Structure 1
């Protein structure tokens, strides 16, 4: 068992966490000012989304300079101060890194545009026109074609994401050397690992044929997701950077089956520490389509979670556990009740996550039950993906009110609202005008929540403590109980010495369930439990963790 497997990760979206200079954008010094808060919560690792120099077309995931901190966040000296202060508090720092693509403002791409013979031209993926059109029918994740024509070169470059984000050509050995040198640069600064954005897309099939479009997933990803050389590229990174620096690494692995996720994370293969996968947060996609007004069945959710729990464990993989991140709307608004049963819902989601096997991640605001933005006008959105999706919905005949309702449910902008610290203007996030301003008035803040009896923050603290001190929650096996139950999610964690039972009522109605004899309450989101012999009456959104004596 590795020490990091006992820790809890806290994800910070720096732009929205804490502003220290009144410009409306969160920054490094703002993060430093909140390290005591994270220490109090019990955090062992912090994941920072990108803070490199960037034009900001994808909120920092379009990197223009891999070696510099964007001045909007501070300086390299500020970053090194952050590392020092975090380490003083036994908090490790994981940086986000984007290696599938760069910004079109990156010096590499500017050189690539100069000539087909420029050495940097082959750092990117170019193709000649095919019968006067795009080289294939692949679709960008941000809508439209995945190809952009450059008349001066009479070639197209591939961009799986925004048109300003050209994909890198990992077949080029010189590119890989440049990347390893850059990763070592950050290792020397003293960081503790990387979260690797869309890392499973870095290897494309050489032929890059048309996709079939038989399903919503046939958009080209069949020829670049978990591509032919991805594992050897990541193993090479491990040998050159991750292993020698004893790094903790997590790969974002969208559209990846368990069989592949195991390869990425089995320690014997020397690739990554753990895997972010997204099947469970796509459970409310209608026929696989994200931009729809979706609904979910609990049995579908528990089936997905359980399959990943069992099969990853059996084959030596390791899960990164999460409900929320900067790319997902708030789970409390999607899967539970963010109004009448807000506190109970936040605690329920926390308990379900922390009872599972893997490394739990808290996204900023989870610990105070932050909810979706519920924006009512497309002008309130900054996110390119959301704006493009809205325009596509309108062009396809969806009326504006429904399109906005879909964004209220599915847009990742919901997770990017500034952190709510106190009851002052802008929740204490900034003294200026915040870069993204919420529409709804929400009186929840760190200040208010910490004053509540039996609050969400302290519930998270308790779970972090319990998980660290009950090894069964780290190394124990997993078993789904009552797989056909569409109201209560029940599962066991067990090893040779201990057995833990987790039960969570995902409805607003009371549910009666049986608890086997000999179990005592470890933690519940209502305090005690309503037990009559072996029958428990579970209140709306009640969650229980019990242990066999």
Structure 2
């Protein structure tokens, strides 16, 4: 494998609206991010991915972009973005932006021009079909519920949107549209951007010609994935994009890729892959149901272990996964992957170590490093997220009571990750001096960055140690490039694996409250990390306390 500048890095995702508010308007902004760069540098972060901060009507919290060449005034000005790039560079940090090019906003000038002249140049930037009374062009269901077709204002046509109706899909079959996308990517890379996280990219290729499929719910519609499974030829688009943009700048790119076929993995992230890396979503999609969130199956520690090992085996040494515990589209990882009632600093550190030491690039989502948890909802009126509101209705339609429906969607709501970052125990968790746009998790007085910075036993201090281990010249080669081999894979509620390179490391985690004894394969040389003060060893029998995790050099 050719070694790349980003292989040994640690990435951190910022959701700008909820990270740090510098001007008291209740919304996080770019000057707020700049003010926290030293905090991130101290943690050991190298790459910062910003969720969208382009101008947007926020129908889907910024993933509906109305201008790809500007910064939304809510978040600051272009001069602030340029200053962020400059300040990051001083600290040897790289900034990634979100590349959202499956769709734009219905308030983008392209779409406005398409409405004015649907048969002209910009009409062909979208998927338009003639409107037929009482009949849709296809029966696909959008990701946010309801049909994917909406009337094109002022015309006798309909347009396709696989997400929100304010997010019309861009027609990638049109080379003129692709040229506009590449031009924009290069414009940002010329500004000094380190690269991009690429949003929902699998959706850019539709199965042609369009047709309907067997309905899978009473609404007469079918899951959009049914169509995507039949789509062929996405590689032509992605290869062209790589060659015209990222490759010329040695930029880092990470794809939000779902449903890739095993034989396509080398194409996506191999030596000359479309992307530098792609996210591992094996754990996040576990237990999902076509019926909706109300029918989802909870993930157990053994399921989590199996998901991680499956992904690692599938990728092998083809390329690099980007490993996540959570992101802006998911609930808080500690509330999802740690059994209910067992969230505590010890279990949060275990989850951190088990995920962080996997082969691949570790991504931390804001607040993950201090162990932020899901937020308690007392009413559906407190919910902002459109997908949560849709799933709440789906649960009600399935016969759940309002209380049960709320309980179900609260577990998975994207709002859990979007509540303001908990900086301190001051008002509004130190996020803003104004009224926060989304409620602050009431546990901020107990869980906040300020109290953890000076505590050597805090969750944040543990993350800092994990990052230091990844960067330690003595172990870096093994942690970054070493093979991963499961150990005692079938032992219940135990997740253990080797990292084998020029050294051999063993990561062992007791994924339960009860103590557990484990046989070591041989004597160890050194304890590299332990989330407990003790190490109980009799001969080769290691007695692990509840949620104890240990990293050993063998």
TM-score, normalized by the shorter chain, greater than 0.5: yes
The residue aligned with 1:305 is 308
- Structure 1 residues 169 and 177: alpha-carbon distance in aligned structure 2, compared to 1, 3 A threshold: same
Structure 2 counterparts to residues 291-302 of structure 1, below 5 A: 291-292=294-295, 294-302=297-305
Name which of 84, 109, 112 aligns with 2:111: 109
The residue aligned with 1:278 is 281
Q: Does 1:480 align with 2:461?
A: no
CA distance in 1, matches of 2:492, 2:107: 50
Larger CA deviation: 200-209 vs 447-456: 447-456
Larger CA deviation: 320-329 vs 178-187: 178-187
Larger CA deviation: 536-545 vs 363-372: 536-545
Per-residue Cα deviation, 1:302-321 (whole angstroms, up to 9, x for no partner): 2221121122124x132001
CA distance in 1, matches of 2:437, 2:175: 40
The residue aligned with 1:219 is 223
CA distance in 2, matches of 1:245, 1:30: 28
The residue aligned with 1:229 is 233
Per-residue Cα deviation, 1:52-100 (whole angstroms, up to 9, x for no partner): 0000011100000111100000000010000000110111001111000
TM-score (norm 1): 0.95
Contact in 1 for aligned 2:301/2:338 (Cα 8 Å): no
The total of aligned residue pairs comes to: 545
Q: Does 1:513 align with 2:513?
A: no
Contact in 1 for aligned 2:331/2:411 (Cα 8 Å): yes
Following superposition, the deviation at residue 463 of structure 1 comes to 0.9
The residue aligned with 2:60 is 58
Per-residue Cα deviation, 1:228-264 (whole angstroms, up to 9, x for no partner): 2321111111111101111100000123343334321
Name which of 336, 339, 354 aligns with 2:338: 336
CA distance in 1, matches of 2:454, 2:339: 22
Larger CA deviation: 179-188 vs 260-269: 260-269
Q: Secondary structure at the match of 1:398?
A: coil
Q: Secondary structure at the match of 1:282?
A: coil
CA distance in 2, matches of 1:25, 1:176: 33
CA distance in 1, matches of 2:470, 2:426: 35
Per-residue Cα deviation, 1:487-544 (whole angstroms, up to 9, x for no partner): 111111112x321111112211111111122223210111332212111122111111
Q: Secondary structure at the match of 2:399?
A: coil
Q: Does 1:362 align with 2:364?
A: yes
Contact in 1 for aligned 2:105/2:167 (Cα 8 Å): yes
The residue aligned with 1:267 is 271
- Structure 1 residues 516 and 482: alpha-carbon distance in aligned structure 2, compared to 1, 3 A threshold: closer
The residue aligned with 1:121 is 123
Structure 2 counterparts to residues 25-64 of structure 1, below 5 A: 25-64=27-66
Structure 2 counterparts to residues 179-218 of structure 1, below 5 A: 179-213=181-215
The residue aligned with 1:249 is 253
Per-residue Cα deviation, 1:427-461 (whole angstroms, up to 9, x for no partner): 11000000001353332111111233411112111
Contact in 1 for aligned 2:266/2:319 (Cα 8 Å): yes
Contact in 2 for aligned 1:530/1:536 (Cα 8 Å): yes
Per-residue Cα deviation, 1:262-301 (whole angstroms, up to 9, x for no partner): 32111224x1000113221122435784343632233332
The residue aligned with 1:91 is 93
Q: Secondary structure at the match of 2:135?
A: coil
Q: Secondary structure at the match of 1:66?
A: coil
Q: Secondary structure at the match of 1:83?
A: helix
TM-score (norm 2): 0.94
CA distance in 2, matches of 1:30, 1:361: 21
CA distance in 2, matches of 1:226, 1:413: 32
Following superposition, the deviation at residue 485 of structure 1 comes to 2.4
Following superposition, the deviation at residue 218 of structure 1 comes to 5.8
The residue aligned with 1:175 is 177
Contact in 2 for aligned 1:338/1:371 (Cα 8 Å): no
Larger CA deviation: 460-469 vs 332-341: 332-341
Larger CA deviation: 47-56 vs 500-509: 500-509
Q: Secondary structure at the match of 1:281?
A: coil
CA distance in 1, matches of 2:79, 2:343: 44
- Structure 1 residues 370 and 95: alpha-carbon distance in aligned structure 2, compared to 1, 3 A threshold: same
Contact in 1 for aligned 2:207/2:231 (Cα 8 Å): yes
